[in-house]
Each structure stands twice: as C-alpha cells, then as structure tokens.
C-alpha cells in the first residue's frame, strides 16, 4: 500500500521553540519536519500543527512555519493548542474527519454508491504524522488515531525524544499497533508517484 497525496493529511506534533533544543538530533529532525511541511504545501496536502502548552513551550519553530507559507489557495494549515498529550483528546479527530455535508435534494433517490460518496467526499483517511516527543505526544496521538480507524503513517526521521531508547521504543510500539513507519523521502516520492508530476523538480530540489 502506497501513500496517496489526495488521501493524505499531515500532522506535525509539537515542534516548539522551547522543546526542540532538548530533542535528540534536533537539527536534522527540524529539517525533515520543514521538508514535510514544504512537500505538503507543494502537493496541496492539508496540514495541522499541534502545540503543547504553547504559553510555556512557545510556538512552532520558524523553520516549519516558513516552509508552510504558500500562495496556493488549496493549502490549508491549522494550529491546535493542547494540554492533553494526545491531540485526539483535544479534538484532532474532528478536524481530520469533519462531519459530512448534507446531501442536496432527496438522498433516498440517489443510488447507494452516490449516497456513500456524499458522506465520504471530505475524508482524507491517511494521516502522515511526525513530531515530538515520539514516546509521549506523538505516540498517544497516533494510538488514538488508529483506534479511530485512521491510517497512520509515522515519519521516523522527523520524530525525536530526549533519548534514543524512548524514541525507538515508541517506534516499536507503533509498528506493533499497526502504524506504517516511513521516512521523509518515502512520503515525498509516494506523493509524487512519477517523474512527470508537475512538482517533481521542486520536490527533488527539496530532497537534495
């Protein structure tokens, strides 16, 4: 199963100014988070940023915010402030799976396959997830999303914790729970699918 840009949403968890200096390999992790943000902007993939206790830990780091800036009207970016470690406990699931728009006219007169399409049209079920700390906020958010029947794709090279043991334990647990473990380049080239994609040159430059 490959990622599809048209079925994806990107969630970047707690890349905050006062948190990132304590993270393992922080510079590389931030760089990959910024690449994911820019990829999403190029591919018109909706983005949600989460910020844990922002009054204490600060806003999302500038590198990620800059990468998300785009002139594309299709690019959607929202920020969810939270106190719970799982962003799902703060309503993330509702953001990712909004209620369906009411069907115009008499829904019963529509064929069944069109009735189903009307309820699922807004759903992007593949959640590409990255963030910090991997064993706390990222893990709890991912497990709750899996329980809510989203597909969860964790971008390992854009995740971190204070220690390698905690980070790797999170990856082991996530894989066992059914999350797909991927890298930034996997996401990029699965979203593209082809060297003929209009964004290919921009994405290739971003990866290099």
- 23 within a domain of the structure (yes/no): yes
- 104 within a domain of the structure (yes/no): no
Tell whether the model's pLDDT for residue 121 goes beyond 50: no
Mean pLDDT computed over 130-152: 97
Per-residue confidence band for 118, with pLDDT thresholds at 50, 70 and 90:
very low
- 173 within a domain of the structure (yes/no): yes
Task: Give the predicted TM-score (pTM) of the model.
Answer: 0.87
Residue 100, CA distances (Å) to 75, 118, 126 in order: 20, 7, 17
Please tell me the total count of domains within the chain: 1
Per-residue confidence band for 193, with pLDDT thresholds at 50, 70 and 90:
very high
| CATH number of the domain enclosing 73 | 3.40.50.850
- 72 within a domain of the structure (yes/no): yes
Domain limits at 23? 5-97+110-207
Residue 63, CA distances (Å) to 28, 120, 158 in order: 12, 34, 13
**Would you state the pLDDT for residue 197?**
93
191: which residues sit within 8 A by CB, 6+ positions away?
A: 3, 4, 5, 8, 39, 43, 45, 203
Give the residue among 19, 6, 14, 5 at the shortest CA–CA distance from 142. Answer: 14
- 153 within a domain of the structure (yes/no): yes
- 103 within a domain of the structure (yes/no): no
Per-residue confidence band for 191, with pLDDT thresholds at 50, 70 and 90:
very high
- 48 within a domain of the structure (yes/no): yes
Per-residue confidence band for 103, with pLDDT thresholds at 50, 70 and 90:
low
- 179 within a domain of the structure (yes/no): yes
**Would you state the pLDDT for residue 208?**
81
């Amino acid at each position: 199963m490959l990622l599809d840009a048209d079925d994806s949403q990107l969630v970047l968890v707690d890349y905050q100014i006062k948190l990132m200096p304590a993270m393992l390999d922080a510079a590389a992790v931030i760089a990959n988070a910024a690449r994911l943000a820019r990829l999403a902007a190029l591919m018109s993939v909706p983005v949600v940023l989460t910020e844990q206790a922002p009054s204490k830990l600060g806003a999302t780091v500038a590198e990620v915010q800059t990468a998300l800036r785009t002139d594309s009207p299709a690019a959607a970016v929202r920020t969810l402030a939270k106190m719970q470690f799982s962003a799902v406990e703060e309503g993330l699931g509702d953001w990712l799976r909004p209620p369906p728009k009411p069907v115009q006219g008499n829904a019963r007169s529509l064929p069944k396959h069109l009735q189903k399409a009307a309820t699922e049209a807004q759903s992007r079920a593949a959640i590409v997830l990255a963030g910090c700390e991997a064993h706390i906020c990222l893990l709890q958010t991912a497990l709750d999303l899996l329980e809510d029947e989203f597909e969860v794709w964790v971008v390992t090279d854009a995740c971190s914790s204070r220690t390698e043991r905690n980070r790797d334990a999170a990856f082991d647990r996530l894989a066992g729970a059914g999350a797909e473990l991927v890298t930034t380049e996997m996401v990029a080239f699965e979203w593209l699918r082809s060297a003929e994609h209009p964004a290919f040159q921009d994405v290739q430059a971003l990866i290099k």
